[in-house]
Amino acid sequence: MNLRHLEHWLALADTGSFSRAAEKLHITQSALSRSIQALEEELGGPLVDRVGKKNELTPLGRSVLARARRIVHEAQELQQGAALLQQGGLGTLRVGLGSGPDAMLMTPWLVFMAQHHPTVQVTVSRGSTELQLNQLRERQLDALVVDVRRVEAAPDLNVAHVVEMRAGFVCRQGHPLLGRYPQGAPFDALLAYPIASIQLSQEVARLLVDHYGPQANPAQMTTLQSEDIASLLDVVGQTDAIYLGILGAAREAMARGALVELPMRTPLKGQARLGLITLTGRTELPALSVFREFVQQHMTD
């Protein structure tokens, strides 16, 4: 099967127009028509219904589209990876980070790449897990590090390096609750202060309610909510707000003594499950192996 014919077919399917597709491909419309016709003959049926100025995909065309896109992407990535290896380079890498991994990995990863691989183009994206999964499947991202409990199992997703990270409550050094309850604060006492957290999953919400009762429902308990954990921790360091989330995200500030884990009379036994997610069967870019090793070394509780 001619790869060029598949590329031409994708351009037509994406634009919906022979003229726009030909312009995008920098070929003539007649050359595009011949290419599409050759592919149709090879596949044994029409891929598009030409109705006046409209071009609609046939059932065969719709079934071919997703597979053709994967084949073309794989071929492009294979060529790119081979060329980079021949040149001794690593190329580019686009990764997505969930809120917890973002707080732990973003700056160290960028510093590491700037120091050790300064010619590699690195892009780090943030956003909801659902959005980033779509971007991964559309090959706009090469890998994700997210809470795997938010990811439904699917045959096209490969989950690796899963790490369970303890969650808990964090406050500033000198917080009133530390002196008042040196043996551990009752949960009710926390509700007198702002609670800062990311949007929590239903699984975590049920765990909190099981531990501390209905008043621990994040929908009512959380007063400061953001997907930017670094900003939440800055607020906690400057006020009497209390952070609820992955303790690893606060480890740098805790190591400096600016923040401390708030001991609880009933300790929270919740954990986040963070993992590296890639597309199954996708040709791996050279730089991704560097990211894998970095994640394995730095994503620790």
pLDDT in tens, 150-201: 888 899 999 988 888 888 999 999 999 999 999 999 999 999 999 999 888 7
Q: What is the pTM of this model?
A: 0.65
Q: CATH 3.40.190.290 in the chain: give the residue spans.
A: 90-301
**What CATH number labels 3-86?**
1.10.10.10
Distance CA 273, CA 282 (A): 24
pLDDT in tens, 117-157: 888 889 999 888 899 999 999 888 999 999 888 888 899 99
Answer yes or no: are the C-beta atoms of 10 and 32 closer than 8 Å: no
- Which of 2-11, 35-44, 49-58, 177-186 has the weakest average pLDDT? 49-58
Measured CA distances, 226 to 47, 138, 141, 230, 232 (Å):
46, 26, 23, 10, 7
Q: The tokens of 142 are what?
A: 């090469």
For domain 90-301, which CATH number applies: 3.40.50.170, 3.40.190.290, 3.40.1280.10, 3.40.640.10? 3.40.190.290
Three-point CA angle 22, 28, 31, nearest 5° = 100
The residues, ordered by sequence, that sit 6+ positions from 180 with a Cβ below 8 Å of its Cβ are 189
Other beta carbons less than 10 A from residue 63's beta carbon: 13
In one-letter notation, the amino acid at residue 62 is: R
Task: Report the run of H or E that residue 94 belongs to, with start and end.
Answer: strand 92-97
Phi-psi region of 166 (alpha: psi -120 to 50; beta: other; left: phi over 0): beta
Report the pLDDT value the prediction gives residue 103, as an integer from 0 to 100. Answer: 85
pLDDT band at 29 (very low <50, low <70, confident <90, very high): confident
Q: CATH 1.10.10.10 in the chain: give the residue spans.
A: 3-86
